[in-house]
Amino acid sequence: VRWVAELRRADLGAAGIAAAIEARILDGRLPPGEQLPPVRKLALDLSVSATTAASAYQQLRRRGLVVGDGRRGTMVGQASPVVPVYAPVVPAGVRNLADSNPDPVLLPSLTSLAGRLDVPVTLYGARSEVPALVQLVEAWFGADGITGDQVVLVSGGMDGIERVLRAHLRPGDAVVMEDPGYAVLREQLQTMGLRVLPVPVDDEGLLPEPLERALQAGARAVVSTPRAQNPFGCQLTNGRARGLRHVVLNYPSVVLIEDDHGAGLAVPPMASMAAGHSGPWAVVRSPAKLIGPDLRIAFVTGDRVTTTRVRSGFLLGPGWVSNLLQLAALGALREASATQLEARVAGCYAERRMALLDALRSRGVTAFGRSGFNVWLPVPDESAMVTHLLTHGWAVAAGQRFRFAAPPAIRITTARLAAAEAEDLAGLIAATMRPAAAVRHA
């Protein structure tokens, strides 16, 4: 193989071999699915020890670049190794129901907010958190019955989740995520070298028995979405939360993480399975859907060890969240609370989601979505449905990136879908799902 010959000349150690293979994966010379030589053969060809060759593969596996093991063979992973920024290409004139974005009309204006901000000059060593913001967030969590040791500010929900995972897990550890679940989380876990153990969901969240099996199989952490689950739209009920807490009672060292990205997408209060767990836990609340994704701020609460580790990590990295952002978030959240924005916006999204679900149901088509603005619609053939809808002017997301064992489906974001449009779309979908009439050939 040519690349092996190139590497032979370079006289590399394990890290060097891994980096050289990584470079070839990144520029496409080693495409997804490409089989790599067995450890022994690679070692022989490069005149290195089998330990060195195995260690190179191990490093690539941890970064999610290759899959498989030495015995069954190693190959380049299917997931893109490049940061997976997912922006579906939507042709002009096509309605975009594929991107899971909030309706910009429902977000507060940052321009008018910014004009009213009074931002102090802040230097190194100054207090890094705006106390009024921390107090507001503590009260916000408190209203949902969530009391942690402290509130830590981070740069968005996914940043918070990554920091909690890094605080407790090592590459190779297994993490439970929902099936279907948030594609970006899946890619994040893979990139961190964590193993994904998918657990199915229904309208109420993770299913307790499959969760128990995943914990028995050695899962070290569980990431779940208490409301507006993406893409299935589950909403954790108090009953399910109790059932899940009962299951994790026997696994006190497992890390429970709740991805609460859904403020503003579901009428409060929020049920929690993580809060009060006897082991490590965190609820990561992102206000992105309520006050806009661009503020890049989120709030982590949890037990003392978890929150302290996350706080220390953040201090050593970014240092603190800019006072400009903190004050903007404080202003927007105060305004939201004064106008009951959270419940109002959630009600608005519920109407749009229900309009589509009802329109589908009245045509005999089953779809899911109990909270948030996404509708999950099982279909026999994802790409056929996506393509068909596209030719009729609707862009929706294929379910593939979101699911593991869950059957094929599409995700439709109804955040900006008017009721009349929902009827048109449902009619089109129902017509497509109907079994084709038998055609008699002459």
Q: Is 370 in the site for ligand PLP (CB under 6 A)?
A: no
Q: How far apart are CA 74 and CA 36, in angstroms?
A: 5
Q: Which of 58, 74, 286, 301 binds ligand PLP (CB under 6 A)?
A: 286
User: Taking contact as CB under 6 A, which single stretch among the options 11-19, 72-80, 91-99, 151-159 is the one that binds ligand PLP?
Assistant: 151-159
Phi first, then psi, for residue 152 (nearest 5°) are -115, 135
Q: Is 288 in the site for ligand PLP (CB under 6 A)?
A: yes
Closest approach of ligand PLP to the CB of residue 430, in Å:
27
DSSP, res 394:
E
Q: How far apart are CA 60 and CA 66, in angstroms?
A: 6
Q: Is 177 in the site for ligand PLP (CB under 6 A)?
A: no
Contact of 77 with 21, CB cutoff 8 Å: no
Q: Which is nearer to ligand PLP, 261 or 277 (CB)?
A: 261
Q: Which is nearer to ligand PLP, 219 or 298 (CB)?
A: 298
Which residues are 398's β-sheet partners? 410
* Residue closest to 145 by CA, chosen among 228, 233, 242: 242
Q: Which is nearer to ligand PLP, 59 or 301 (CB)?
A: 301
Q: Is 156 in the site for ligand PLP (CB under 6 A)?
A: yes
Q: How far apart are CA 153 and CA 290, in angstroms?
A: 17
Q: Is 313 in the site for ligand PLP (CB under 6 A)?
A: no
CA distances from residue 336 to 65, 109, 263, 343, 344 in whole angstroms, order as listed? 43, 12, 11, 10, 10
Q: Which is nearer to ligand PLP, 7 or 298 (CB)?
A: 298
Q: Which of 158, 207, 329, 426 binds ligand PLP (CB under 6 A)?
A: 158
Q: Is 399 in the site for ligand PLP (CB under 6 A)?
A: no
Q: Which is nearer to ligand PLP, 101 or 432 (CB)?
A: 101
Beta-carbon neighbour count of residue 381 at 10 Å?
Answer: 12
Q: Which is nearer to ligand PLP, 61 or 311 (CB)?
A: 311
* Residue closest to 181 by CA, chosen among 241, 225, 237, 240: 225
The residues binding ligand PLP (CB under 6 A) are 100, 156-158, 182, 225, 230, 259, 261, 286, 288, 293, 298
